[in-house]
Amino acid sequence: MLRVSLEQWRAFVATAELGSFQKAAEKLHKTQSAIGHSIRKMEASLGQRLFELDGRQARITELGRILLPHACDLIDEARQAEELCQLARVECQCGAKEVPISVNALFPVDVLLSAIKELSQVYPGLPIRIHETARADAATLLTGGAGAGCDRATSAGVGED
């Protein structure tokens, strides 16, 4: 069982980056006492000091500096896992899991391709269905309303060149 919660890791990272419990609290929309409590509880669970207090400053210890990149990776991995869960809910009206995108025919192709490339770096292999339209009914196309059959759209496999 893990001894440190994800919220405690977030408090640790914010405090390390900003150098004070107050600034970390503002960033995380919490109270200063909640951040201080999280850090103290974390230190007690680990049996190690992560910060030395100097007035209003929280100076990170050498161990804290070593843990910081690992904590950042942990938080990033948790965020990516949550994003994957959100994408897993996306379904096409035909039943295939994909991300539908509606693009006006006048939209710059280079901007669209750049956005798709960035998306493919975060979610490799995610299928995308691009609906090109000159009409104002893009929402109808995306939600599967009248005239939005899957055979009328262009499919693009993310990650393909």
Residue 7: its pLDDT value, please? 96
Instruction: List the one residue out of 33, 42, 48 whose CA is nearest residue 10.
Output: 42
Q: Do residue 108 and residue 42 come from a single domain?
A: no
Residue 157: its pLDDT value, please? 44
Residue 72: its pLDDT value, please? 94
Contact between 31 and 73 under an 8 Å Cβ cutoff? The reply is no
pTM > 0.85: yes or no: no
Neighbour-count burial of 70, counting CB atoms closer than 10 A to its CB (0-12 exposed, 13-18 middle, 19+ buried)? exposed
Range of the domain at 56: 6-87
CATH number at residue 25: 1.10.10.10
Q: Do residue 110 and residue 41 come from a single domain?
A: no
Looking at the structure of the chain, the number of domains it has is 2
Contact between 153 and 101 under an 8 Å Cβ cutoff? The reply is no
Q: Do residue 21 and residue 66 come from a single domain?
A: yes
Residue 151: its pLDDT value, please? 38
Q: Do residue 83 and residue 105 come from a single domain?
A: no
Please check whether residue 73 lies inside any domain of the structure.
yes
How far apart are alpha carbons 76 and 122 in whole angstroms? 12
- One digit per residue, the tens of pLDDT, for the chain of length 161 reads 789 999 999 999 999 999 999 999 999 999 999 999 999 999 999 999 999 999 889 999 999 999 999 999 999 999 888 877 666 655 433 455 677 787 887 888 888 888 888 877 777 777 888 888 765 555 555 555 544 444 334 444 444 44
